[in-house]
Amino acid sequence: MRHVLCAERDLRDLGLLWQMIEATSAIACPDEAEAVLPMLTRTRARFASLQSRLVRQLGSESLAALDDELSSSAQCTIDILVRNLYERTADVGFLATDAVLRAFCAAAARGPADPAAVLRRLGEYRAKYSVYDDVVLLAPDGRVLLRLEEGSATSLAAEPLVADALAGRGFVERFGPSALAAGAADVLLYAHRIDGEGGRCVGVLVLRFRLADEMRRVFDSVLQTGRHVALVLLDAQDRVIASADEAHIPLGARLQAAAAGEVGLTAFGGREYLSVTRAGAGFQGYPGPGWRAHAMVSLLSAFSGRDDGPADAALAPDTAELARLRAELDAINADLRRVVWNGRLAAGAQQQASARLKALLGQVQEAGRRTRDRVDEAIGELQRSALGRLRHQAQDMARLAADIMDRSLYERANDCRWWALSPVLERVLAAPPAAAAEAELGAVLAHVNSLYTVYTRLVAFRVDGTVCALSHEGEGEPLVGSRVEAGLLNTTLALADSQRYAVTPFAGSALSAGVPTYVYSAAVRDGQRRVVGGVAAVFDAARELQAMLRDVLGERAGIAAFVDAEGRVLASTDAELAAGSTLPAALAPGLAEYRGSTWAVSAVRADGYREFKRGDGYDNRVRALVALRLGESERRATCLQDIAVQALPPAQRDATCSYALFTTGAGRFGLPVAAVVEARPRDGLVRARLGTPHALGLTEVPAGNGAIVIPVLCARSLFGVAYPPRAADGVLLVLTLPGRNGRPLVGLWVDEVLCVVDSGTEHLRPVPEGLRAHSPLLAGLLRLQAGADTEVLAQILDANSVWALAAMAGTAPAMTPAGAAATASTPAHAG
């Protein structure tokens, strides 16, 4: 991890710098540095602890980001595959009940049967369900009665697949060598017994799944990152049964699987890899074939080449460790600024030692700035990594949601076209209306709907649009005898052949009881290829799309939605984004501000699967959107104390005044050094209602050989700052009056201390007349330099202001300074 090593080196060098300053101070100016040395020791120790935690966190975050990437690739791969194979288990069970196949197998048991019509029917099935490359019908003794692909196999009696199918009533799934595959290659087969009249077994149906082709599509969909991740499918014996790059990891190779849910260090081909192995979560009670997806990346390139993009500190996720690191950095910097500030005050009182002490404090301040900047940079790297992880998670989840939706709707387009070939549908719709026949058709549709529960209902209608049968009625007006909408009827009747299907726009209709959804339809033709009606499948979008989104989002804090090209929400996991509502403009891809929180938003277009939406002329123009909540983070714009300021060069070195600068809200303020005793941490303040304006409470401070209690006033209240302070803000300035021998008089609670400057008197400008009446505490405006060529102003309070503050707090001395009478009244807000 090169960036971690770089941070570790830089922070170690800064630790040596602190040690050097500490040692030099103790040797060269021990008397002047006596009050500062304990602070140096404490600061160095605290920075060392923070640096150690930062390096560990950087390493952990980098490993976690890699874990997310590998885990996402592996989990998406196996989950997509399991969902696909679940559909295959339903296919083989349903096709085994097909009346044409049952009749053929029953006839073959009595003697030779004509296979031509059955072959055409199976060819129609394979053309629609393009995930299969062969369909085979077997006799109960294992003889091959009929198959789509030419092959030399005449019997499968020796294969366990046949015996298992004959012995059970459900589907059988087998992967391995078979006589149905040339060269005894491993194939994935699904089998189901075919029962004739009276439940007697008349044959076995076998479907050969195009596993290699399907895995290539899955790998291409999942591996869309720039990094070269080796992605494979493992069986229960850790043997590779599918590989995204067979030249790198060939089929049949054995890999060392990583521990469940962990990034593991594994070896293959003489090289070391970091890898993740994930099992499928199952779907609708189907556990899958017991396979696992394995993703791995070379240790040499695992942590290089990934760009997490820019990160705004204000958008950092709500991670506890990151918040602790930031709070610790703020606390160290605040303590360091306060001690240096107090040291500069002391240097002003020790004229002989002033130069040496100021030089020492300057070195301490510079070391603190460099350390702060490097630690801030490291925290920024953590933020970028954390933000990058969430953005990549949102992208992966949106891609998965789009893929799942397309694969599901692909099956819906297949189903309606296959059902349109039903002999029962053809017979009933081609004949004149008859109650008994239509009741029989209704029973068939109800049976099919009970197997395919993703539909609200299945509907059969005649060429004039009259509904003659459906799987079940809903609430409201009966649908049987009504007419389907003209748009659905016309597009269905206009379909050119049995490979075509129609889909309504996503909207409500009478068939869906007004609930917005897709309705898939196909034309039903008689023996002369004339259209005699149609069959429509009403997709249960409200339930199924919600289920897809919930499965993808899981327990994460966020929002998942399907949105059309016009920004209309089709389904969402968020109650406020109901179907039919418009997606808020704030939820644009990227980092978004929405509902007072920050979100990582990603949107991926659902661009189809296999021939669906890619070669059939249909496109619903839907995007899958995932927004992961980063949290309500404190806005950390650049603070005034982070901008270094210094005095402008004086015209005469002996005509200078020293000012202690501090911040309150968005303003810089200052007091003469003689008016400030010290800056103290926030500890020790007792909140109390003193009955005086702007009072916060009381605090105990040292005075001579003892201690006294002084009142504390709030600078934010005095200066009219209405918005709340940051969590790290808060320093107590202990103030006095010249001639009081530094005896504490009143406390002023400010946001933060800045620095102590020696400024030429010519840089103190008078308060403008228009401002003086509203800001009686101000004595002038001090010009300062911020950066190379920027000037800023600090609002300077004088000794009279201290007297006015003491008067407000009830601690003003009996003898007031000259001119104090003019400012002794309670001041207005200084702005």
What are 281-292's pLDDT values in tens digits? Answer: 888 889 999 999
Whether 182 maps to a domain, the answer reads yes
Establish if 295 belongs to a structural domain: yes
Are 631 and 645 part of one and the same domain? Answer: no
Domain region containing 320 = 314-332+387-635
Return the pLDDT at 337. 81
Query: Cα–chain-centroid distance for residue 600?
Result: 5
Place of tokens 């969430």: 390
pLDDT at residue 318 in the model: 52
Q: Which of 590, 608, 635 is the last residue of a domain?
A: 635
Q: What gap in Å lies between CA 490 and CA 481, rounded to an integer?
A: 18
Domain shared by 276 and 154, yes or no: yes
Residue of higher predicted confidence among 350 and 661: 661
**Domain stops at, among 579, 612, 635:** 635
Asked if residue 706 and residue 770 are part of one domain, the reply reads yes
CA dihedral for 598, 602, 603, 609, sign (positive or negative): negative
Do 666 and 812 share a domain, yes or no? yes
Q: Which two tokens stand for residue 790?
A: 């920027």
Cα–Cα distance for residue pair 475/617, rounded to 1 Å: 35
- Reported confidence tier of residue 823, pLDDT bands at 50, 70, 90: very low
Q: Is the pLDDT of residue 818 over 50?
A: no
Is residue 474 domain-resident?
yes
Place of tokens 């004086």: 650
| β-bridge mates for residue 203, sequence order | 194
Average pLDDT over residues 400-413: 95
Shared domain check, 324 and 238? no
The more confident residue out of 498 and 30 is: 498
Do 430 and 539 lie in one domain? The reply is: yes
Instruction: Note whether 196 and 225 are same-domain residues.
Output: yes
Assess if residue 294 is contained within a domain.
Answer: yes
Please name the residues in contact with 627: beta carbons below 8 A apart, sequence gap of 6 or more.
Answer: 394, 558, 559, 560, 587, 592, 594, 599, 600, 601, 602
Asked if 362 and 343 touch (Cβ cutoff 8 Å), the reply is no
Which pLDDT score is estimated for 821? 40
Look at the chain and report how many structural domains it folds into: 3
The two structure tokens encoding residue 585? 């403009």
The more confident residue out of 821 and 251 is 251
Average pLDDT score, the chain: 86
584 shares a domain with 694: no
Model confidence at 317, pLDDT cuts 50, 70, 90, reads low
Convert the pLDDT of each residue in 29-50 to its tens digit. 777 667 677 777 887 788 888 8
Of the three residues 602, 617, 635, the one that is the final residue of a domain is 635
Question: Do 675 and 692 belong to one domain?
Answer: yes
What percentage of the chain exceeds 90 in pLDDT?
47
Is residue 812's pLDDT more than 80?
no
Per-residue model confidence (pLDDT) at position 632: 67
Domain assignment present for residue 753? The answer is yes
Lowest mean pLDDT among 101-115, 267-281, 392-406, 630-644: 630-644
Domain for residue 435, yes or no? yes
Q: What is the CATH number of the domain that holds 581?
A: 3.30.450.20
Residue 634 has pLDDT above 60, yes or no: no
Burial classification of residue 475, based on how many CB atoms lie within 10 Å of its CB (0-12 exposed, 13-18 middle, 19 or more buried): exposed
> Quick one: which of 476, 453, 478, 475 has its CA closest to 467?
478
Helices (H), 512-573: 541-553
- Is 665 among the domain residues? yes
pLDDT in tens, 419-444: 999 999 999 999 999 999 999 999 99
Mean pLDDT within 98-107: 92
DSSP letter at 252?
T
Domain co-membership, 271 together with 323: no
Judge if 178 and 325 occupy the same domain.
no
The answer on 787 and 716 residing in a single domain is yes
Domain assignment present for residue 405? The answer is yes
Cα–Cα distance measured from residue 155 to residue 132, given in angstroms and rounded to the nearest whole number: 20
